[in-house]
A and B are shown apart, each in its own frame.
Chain A
Amino acid sequence: MTDQTTARNDAQAAADRFLALNSGNLASYLESCVRCGLCATACHFYEVTGDPKYTPAYKLFPMARAHKKNSWPWRWFGGAKITEAELQEWEELLFDSCTMCGRCTQVCPMGIDIASIVSASRSAFAAAGRGPEDFMQAAENVREKGSPLGMTPSVFDGRVEWLEDDYEVDLPMDKEGSDILLTVSSIEMMKYPKSIIAMARLLNHAGVNWTFSSTGYEATNFGFLAGKPDIAKLALERIVNAAEELGAKTVVIPECGHAYGALRWSGANILGRALPFEVLHITELLSRLKADGKLKFRPIEGSITYHDPCQISRRGGATHLARFLLDDAEDFREMTPTGDENWCCGGGGGVQAMERAADLRHKVFQIKMKQVEDTGAQMMVSSCANCRLTMDGSKDYWKWDRELESLAELLVEYLVDDDGEPVEWDD
């Protein structure tokens, strides 16, 4: 086959995949854009660069064309097909510069959910072999090694044992009859293990009957982000099978935004059956434990603000729970905008895992730095390890002096017993 033939086939493969996913829901979105451009004002990539190519509506062009080419009455007139050059141009727009944060959905006067079309477009591009190499490889790692960061079951086991010894904390593994299966993000396990210790300590203190699973441990779902449905499904099945084997009634997603969306909102749809358990993000579980009086905290010292992970707040609906957990803070300050309208960290949607997008991410983080500085808070708390990794990287890049903290790690430091006495940890 000549290069030209391959290229044409790639473009056709992208169009075919998209059309297979193109439901009435997506088609309605694609047909109703009035190209008012207001979505640009909501996009952090446009905000920091001023480059119109980052206008969210523009990101939809190839797939809008694939749809148009396939629908009445334009199919009769031939219409233009997607070209290889367009795949080349739009790869950056759909992968490197869209975090699927959903702010554009919020601002769209037509109510078009641009994020869901970007997700389907990524799948189309992946079918054509398109996507940042390192990011697509991270997705493949899920298939081969059980985790995007290569955390195989034996690495996971080893890390858990090490943490258990080092921090003298009980980390149950494969405990049958557990109420809760706690999953982890490999980002936490490899870079922020204290966040896992914090979750375990809070759960143990509250008397929760929980366990890890040596087969269904990875919460992140890079297949979901990279548009590789087979890998997305495989990652979900590992968790579902593990929960079923252990008899867990609840699966808890750790501090990770997209992992929550992938299992909580897309899990049943991808697997084609209702999930046989409840799915909670760790902030939901901790809130429930706090509301039930099983976790109590003393006032958190210093001035803090909260960064809303897009998939937990805007796209997850748990916006107020982090506030409920932080309502013991002496000096809590909201950013502007905040909650459902908060700005993205710049690394969601897998953008964090794309090396070539680093400069763009750093630029986006300037928005967050300004938001935090405007509050005057010394510490920014969040509940997503991916946001944290993104923000930590950019914090170093800009040599920024404010502190970043995980919600679970912060809370465990302020835990008190029933008598109101601080709980001490042997670190």
Chain B
Amino acid sequence: MELLEFARGPALMFSITVFIAGVLFRIFSLLFMWRTKDTSAAHPGQKPEIMAALSDILRRMWPLATYRQRSLFQWINGYVFHIGLFIVVFFLLPHILFINDLTGLSWGHLPNNLVYAISIVTLISLIAALIMRASNPPQRLISTFDDYFSWLVTFLPVLSGIVATMHIGARYETLLALHILSVCLLLIYIPFGKLMHFFLVFITRGQTGAHIAHRRRTTVLKGE
């Protein structure tokens, strides 16, 4: 079997299976754990828990002014590679065609040259994130294997995608196969490490939002 056939066929199917099963398992194993129920009386006039959760999910999309200055680089760089990855994955024509083959779904694409440019920016942004992790003392201290490996499996598809597009170093089929295999590695690893934050962020922000809002005193005092 050709490498490309293997990558497109069994390798991709296997990794998608692991990805879906693993992600669902992670999510359900957390959701089915017993949860503490806060039985303390909320301050009067609270918004419903679900609204508090949703508003904290939104609020934490950008740092509070007090903390902004010192975290601005990480915030902006974080947005650059997250948005960059999103655009490259979902708005490059070959990707849409590939997804259409797999699922039958299709949507509009962005000009190829624009997406290529964005992929370069994303690559640089990921490198900047790695330099930050290795050089900022708190981040360096708390970094684990998961952090570096998660970085690697995110970086490789971007890099291999650019290399394949530029036809550097090998036959196009081989480069494309390596690109797909790097995506397989990413998919397989997602359920095992911190990349699960793509989903967990909604749980943690939501529960903290509800927790803090429960304690907010919003009412006027008179006649309470």
- A residues engaging B (CB < 8 A)? 22-25, 27-29, 31-42, 46, 50, 52-53, 55, 57-58, 61, 71-73, 105-113, 264-269, 273-275, 278, 284, 287-288, 290-292, 315-321, 324, 337, 341
Are B217 and A42 in contact (CB-based, < 8 A)?
no
Instruction: List residues of B (146-201) whose CB comes within 8 Å of A's CBs.
Output: 147, 192, 194, 196-197, 200-201
Establish whether residues A268 and B41, one from each chain, have CB atoms under 8 Å apart when the complex forms: yes
Binds A, one of B64-72, B86-94, B96-104, B118-126: B64-72
In the bound complex, do residue A72 and residue B25 qualify as a contact, i.e. CB atoms below 8 Å apart?
A: yes
A-B contact pairs, 27 of them (CB 8 A): A23-B34, A23-B36, A25-B36, A31-B26, A31-B30, A32-B194, A32-B203, A38-B74, A41-B71, A42-B67, A57-B142, A61-B142, A106-B64, A109-B63, A109-B75, A109-B78, A110-B200, A111-B57, A111-B201, A266-B40, A278-B41, A290-B221, A292-B222, A317-B43, A317-B217, A321-B217, A341-B64
A32 CB contacts on chain B under 8 angstroms: 194, 196-197, 200-201, 203-204
CB pair B40–A267 under 8 Å, yes or no, is: yes
Within 8 A of A (CB), among B206-223: 206-209, 211-212, 215-217, 220-223
B137 contacts the other chain (CB 8 A): yes
Give the contacting residue for A287; candidates B137, B143, B221; CB below 8 A: B221
Contacts of B66 in A (CB 8 A): 337, 341
- For the complex, give the distance between the alpha carbons of A267 and B41 in Å: 10
Query: Which one of B26, B70, B141 contacts A41 once the chains associate, using CB atoms below 8 Å?
Result: B70
Question: Measuring CB to CB, which residues of chain B are less than 8 angstroms from any residue of chain A?
Answer: 25-26, 29-41, 43, 56-57, 60, 63-64, 66-67, 70-71, 74-75, 78, 136-144, 147, 192, 194, 196-197, 200-201, 203-209, 211-212, 215-217, 220-224
A191-B41 Cα distance, complex, nearest whole Å: 32
Q: List, in ascending order, chain A residues with CB within 8 A of B141's CB.
A: 52-53, 55, 58
Number of A-B contacts (CB under 8 A): 165
B-chain residues with CB within 8 Å of residue A33 when the two chains form the complex: 194
A82 to chain B, nearest CB (A): 15
In angstroms, Cα B64 to Cα A291, docked, is 31
Bound-complex Cα distance A67 to B52 (A): 28
Q: B139 → chain A, closest Cβ, in Å?
A: 4
Q: Is the CB of B205 within 8 A of A72?
A: no
> B25's closest neighbor in chain A, by CB?
A72
Chain A contacts of B200 at CB under 8 A? 28, 31-32, 110
Known: A107-B71, A317-B216. A34 touches B194 (CB 8 A): yes
Closest 6 CB pairs of A and B: A111-B205, A24-B33, A37-B139, A40-B138, A32-B200, A291-B221
